[in-house]
Structure 1
Amino acid sequence: MATPRLLAFALAPLIGVLTGAGVVLAVIGGDGGATTEFAAGATLALPSVVLGMLVAVRRPDSVVGPLLMLVGATAVWVTVGDLYASAVTRRPDLPFSELYAALSQGDWMFLYVPAALLMLVFPDGRLPGRRWRWAIAGLLGVPALFMLITAFDPGPYRPPFESTPHLFRLPEPYLPVLRVVGLALLPVFLGLLVASAAAVVLRYRRTTGKAKRAQLKWFALGAACLPLTLLLCWASYLFLDGPDLVLAGLAATALAIPVATTIAVLRHDLYDIDRAISTAVTYGLVTAILLGFYTAASFLVGLGAGRSSPVAAAAGTAICAAALSPLRVRLQRWVDRRFYPDRQAVLTAIEELRDRTHAGQAQPEELETTLRTALRDPALRVGYRLPGASRLVDATGAPVDPGDALVAQVRLGGHDIGAIVRGNAGSRELLREAASAGALLIEVVRLRIEVSRALGEAEASRTRLLHAGYEERRRLERDLHDGAQQRLVSLGMAIRLAQRHLHDGTVHVDGLLDRWVAELAVAVTELRQIAHGLRPSSLDDGLGNALVMLAGKVPVPVTLDVAADDLPEDVAMTAYYVASEAMTNAVKHAGPATIGVRVTRAGDRVTVRVSDDGPGGAEIRPGAGLAGLADRVRAAGGALRLSSPAGGGTLIEAELPCAL
């Protein structure tokens, strides 16, 4: 087990024994005041003892824990000593009274030793350098020597030991030298205390790591309670004519120092320490200056109106109230520049960008670059949340994925408008302040993105309308070509065939004329339907019947196999036009003996296959009928495949999507 931890485990029972001795003294002879002081001292020592033990357990190789326990033990020692002195006046027969009377005359220096040692070795339990060993020797040796010198001083003891005989005596010739040495030790000890405090400052300046700097800042924050206690003392005597607030300040100090020290050692990244120091220093300075204003105003007004006049108090209060807001703002800026430069840099950069944007000299989209520079984070991103969108986007519209990075949400008017995403580790509190300060700029950029997107969508809509008009004209062209035109072509071919057989008497003219008139009527009807954007009327009874009617008009035997009759309208129309165009091309260009048409459905796909036994060699050429057919199939979300090897016939296969 590490030596510092063993020391802590040894101190714990000793502190317990000391506390128990105080309880016994309070019972057998302590007066009410001393007993109350002992209870208060033991209570104030409890945080240091408990938290010191915690640090010793968690950091067994560091002496910070035992020293923190010693800081608490000194409070118990002082109050137990006062309680013992009080008990001696009631019970003069208590043991060691003469020894305690002699040694207690100069033991006050030891009260400062644990805190001074803690400052020397904080935060890692080691001295700033080998040369600092003299400080340890001085802090331990000077108080011991001073205590011995005061014990040999023949002068009267402090109350209540005025009548106690001196236990230690020294020949008269040595007394002047003894007193000179004793007086000389006072500035030496003060210098040691100053050196201990300077060790913290020196260590901070030499340290470059963020972790150690944060630990030292936490320690300094706890130590800042000491001067704040002096301010409370001033305010207490100024307003209450007594030390009531001083006790509260001492209690706060007894709690703040061990808590800050423990956080510094164990969880220094728990909170933004720079922000905490900035706030503490700002309000400490504001309090000190306002107390000065109040004191001066009350004194000056009291010269004319009387010292106890309410006019003096009212004047002092009015001056303090008038000075509070501007004073706090100016002090906050000064303190931030000195103690919290990152915050000052960020807020100043945002404010300057806001002013330049208002003056038309900058664009609000520069916020991301500004924050990257101020926070020294080249990977920082500013994301904007658009209405109805679940993801963040940057100023260009590209998505921003926070991942596991540090994120500060930006809110304005109760709504989430964006976020600032750190690219490296940093202060969460500082990022929140940046988000709050830049909220207005982020809202402006967000609105500009929305306007830009709306304009883009309007332009895209106009383009789509133009494209739709063009596609509609293409569709009408294909419908005319694949529908009514094919019917008229078939009719012309039938008329030409009848013309060839008029002279041999094998043609029934009246029947043919009736049939041709009917075909022309159907073609006219289809043209009217196409003009109104409707499908061919033959599809009214289903794709199968429409293909039967279409096959009956082809002068070549057609084999039909339709196993998908119940199709959506758009799919049925596309399948019909595929079959019509494929059969027309076969009759027109291939001269086949037979044509086969097969329509099948498998799940959400419909397949149309048109084959012939012609010579093959067909291909899809731009501007030809098959090219238009391929466009139609593609527009429907399908695919057209052509297989036409020379001498092997032709197979046209169209695969169309069909929702279940």
Structure 2
Amino acid sequence: MDLVRDLAVGWSYAGAGLIAWWRRPTNRTGRLMLAEGLTWFLGNLQGTAVPLLFALGAWGEALNLAVLAHLLLAFPDGRLATAWDRRVVAGGYGLVAIGGLVRVTVYDPAADGAATYLSCRDCGPNALLLHSGQQLFEAIDLVYRWSGALLTVVCLVALVRRWRVSVPARRRILLPAGVAIAVAVAFVGWEVLYVLAPDALGAANAVLIWPSDASQIAVPIAFLATLLRMRLRRAAVGNLVIEVGADPTPRHMQDVLVRVLGDPSLRLGLPSPTGELGAYVDPDGKPLRLPAPGSGLSATPVEEQVVLVHDAALDEDQELMSAVSGSVRLCLRNTRLRSEAVTRSQEAKAFHARLLRAVDEERQRLERDLHDGAQTRLVFALMKLRRLDAGLSSHVPRPSPDLRHTVAEADRALRQALDELRDLARGIHPAVLTREGLAPAITALAEQAEIPVLVMVEPGRFAPLTESTAYFAVCEALSNAAKYSGAEVVSVSGWRDGDRLVIEITDDGVGGADEENGTGLRGLADRVAATGGTLRVTSPPGGGTRARVELPCE
């Protein structure tokens, strides 16, 4: 059973170390864990009858604890960051190298077999034994154990201090070290109890070995869990583009990165508005400085003049940061493309609005030209023709019937041409719309409609383009109602709703109007949209038709 227990603990470290070394060959953490697993078995050499092997086992019995302290203080970067950490690790190795050697030179297993955790009286002899004195050995052993306990406490203090000053992202990575702290605390308590009262544990000594070793197995398991969590974090980074896609703003992107990476110190650095090379601002527009060496923060370039400032612990997983950088680049490009698309859409709407204004102004010019030009001349010609007809009646005793018939036909032709010209001018742009506004123009339109039209339009003037768009929308709706709906009555309502002009045209016809397939409605929808307005048509079969037009009026 002891063999199974030792193999489980030792190979858990060695296996985790091999995996870590394979995944991160440039990081020394994997090699330290492998060394911890191998040195775990060094003390078991005391169970042999070979004197030299027994001496090596007794000498290096605590070497795995020194390696464990080195591992914890170097985790996760694989480097000892401070001079204090380096002193602690050097003290641990020195204690084993010197103190362990002094201890083994006075250790006689035949005199005190309980000095090793193997409790093996038949083991040995000790090839390095120089003096067999029980009292001397106990004194040296006591100093050796208390020195180890003191170094353990110092190591714990360093770990706790590093934990307290770390941000949440680094704390999650330091989880295996936190587990090891609990193991070390248990070891210190055990050592103190053993030194003060060696016989106090009695039979419980053997029982406590199992939970002690099980707790040590938790350290490499926690390390592997950290690796797995980093892989899951990479998977979460894969959803970054999807999550940011709904709101691809730099601020939202930074918030998502903070949550995914668990690093509240993370900031997204964007190009400074000044254009200065190497100057950055955060998504809120505040200046962002690159971190100084030793500040605990690091900077990862994303693309030219874009950088991520984050906890330096995240540099440990280069694949993760590479995935994050790629996702941020994609999101930024998506943001730029969306911005360009919005800009082009706004430019297109502005162009269409300018085009409609130009068309509307041209309509008004044509209407004025027809009214002031051809229509006026036709009126003058009609007046002259009527004077001619009156002259014939007054001055010619017996005018020719053919001549009178010709004059009458010319009169009718001129009046018909004048009516058609007025209808044409009204279709191009009604003069009443320009002179009096939308409500009188719609009222005049309703009076000429083929079916009864109820008009309820609030008085007031609007922008010329708004009035003309609303007017021709009513024209199209009345035309469709007369041609296709079979309606008996149509109502037209109009009112101002905040900064919008709302026009509703409702009939009691057969319904079934299709905005997509009807060329008139589709053209009207395009015209309304070009002004920044909306057209909604509701036309269930048998339920009549309602067209609602909303136009900006500010």
Give the alignment's TM-score, normalised by structure 1.
0.34
Larger radius of gyration: 1
Give the alignment's TM-score, normalised by structure 2.
0.39
Per chain length, whose mean CA-contact separation is higher, i.e. which structure has more relative contact order (CA < 8 Å, sep 6+)? 2
